[in-house]
Amino acid sequence: MGTLRRPGLDAQPMSLLSEHRTLLKPLRGLYLHIPFCSIKCFYCDFTAFSGQKKTVSRYLSALDKEASFFPDFKPDTLYIGGGTPSELSEEELEAIFKTIRARFPHADFKEATFEANPESLNAEKIKILKESGVNRISLGLQTLDARLLKSIGRRHSPEDFLAVFSNVKKTGGFSVSVDLMYGLPDQSLQDHLQTLKQILDFFPEHLSLYGLQVEDWTLFSKREVKVDENLAREMFERSIEILKEAGFFHYEISNFARLGSESLHNKIYWRNGEYLGLGCGAASYLNGARRVNEDRLISYCVKLESGQIPVSSSEKLEGVERLGEMAFLGLRMLEGYAPSQESLRVLAHQWISLMDRGLIERRGDVFRLTKEGLFVANQVFMEFVPPFERTQLRALSEVAS
């Protein structure tokens, strides 16, 4: 199988995008997972636990122990996620930042993000975050419709969100990102667009817009909730138009930012960069190997208390699987992805098929999702996930030899 070529789409000189990337030093990220919640949302399939407050102190000690295993890791970005990190008390927050300062003394965070829910982020916690160097807060809103908030298992009210957002802005020094969801049960197009327009009136720097996916083992799955895919697509299409008019840059499938306010940490993931994940269920990617931590709270703590690294699985992708992963991660970015010649050759079937179906397009050496591809992105990404055709595996063998 030869190098990928299509009429009128032959390789051209390196794009400005690729040229710019070669001049940048790759960033490394540090992620800390806080798995505690007051209640688990009905759609959530993350590693998160409600009713476990008595375990917090033990967990934070285990987290500190895990961090001690990586004395030479020097991160450029920090992301504290969950779960609901803002459920921690003021004293517990102080303990988290004490661990970060002690275990990563040479860190120079260009961005430090903290996830929070409106009902649990008070003025004192905001002050601690600012004093600890956090410069970006991600607020989990989902919707400003009180009826819908209750129907998806959220504890905050619209008023809680507005008060917290105002307090964060008043404190100053933070870039604010807001999470919204669309395609919720009984949510109309007007419901969603009204929330979006109201949020834009508050001038956040960043918005993450997620369509509801009913995952196995969630309460919504047990209730057999169904998503109206046509309505959800219309919500997303209209949102893109409104956000563009409001001056937001659509830089990743689900993420929009005012220019210069993109998430540096999340870009590390999408660009296949290195990151260290600490905590229950956290994932890491270091030296070409991926690993995932134990996702049971007590098991995670027990392993660390006995001096073990709490890894439950690890792998080092190679060959066609590595190329496929790099492709679908890179295509998440709206700016596109410039595959290697090896990728063009070994995954020629995928690249050509997706272009023929109008789901991706090529400009020079960069491939990117078309408008249609954007709305069926998961279908595009599945093309790069095993199992692969025998012809592709033979091509991989040729490359390896």
Q: Give me the DSSP letters along 235-296.
A: HHHHHHHHHHHTT-EEEETTEEESTT-S-HHHHHHHTT--EEEESTT-EEEETTEEEEE--S
Q: How far apart are alpha carbons 290 and 168 in whole angstroms?
A: 35
Do 16-20+319-400 and 35-246 share a fold? no
- Neighbouring CB atoms inside 10 A of 332's CB total 21
Q: What angle do CA 249, 228, 210 make, to 5 degrees?
A: 30
Whether the model clears a pTM of 0.85, i.e. scores above it, the answer is: yes
Summarised one tens digit per residue, pLDDT across range 157-207 is 999 999 999 999 999 999 999 999 999 999 999 999 999 999 999 999 999
Q: How far apart are alpha carbons 353 and 182 in whole angstroms?
A: 30
Question: What residue has token string 């709305």?
Answer: 375
| Options 1.10.3470, 1.25.40, 1.20.58, 1.10.10; CATH of 16-20+319-400 | 1.10.10
Summarised one tens digit per residue, pLDDT across range 12-53 is 333 334 434 444 678 999 999 999 999 899 899 899 999 999
Structural domain boundaries in the chain: 16-20+319-400, 35-246, 280-315
Q: What is the pLDDT of residue 388?
A: 56
Summarised one tens digit per residue, pLDDT across range 81-125 is 999 999 999 999 999 999 999 999 999 999 999 999 999 999 999
Cα-atom radius of gyration of the chain, to the nearest Å? 22
Please give the class, per CATH, of domain 35-246.
Answer: alpha beta
- Average pLDDT rounded to a whole number, residues 1-5: 34
Mean of the per-residue pLDDT values of the chain: 90
Summarised one tens digit per residue, pLDDT across range 297-333 is 999 999 999 999 999 999 998 999 999 999 999 999 9
Query: Strands 283-286 and 36-37: what pairing?
Result: unpaired
Q: How far apart are alpha carbons 346 and 359 in whole angstroms?
A: 19
pLDDT at 3 over 80: no
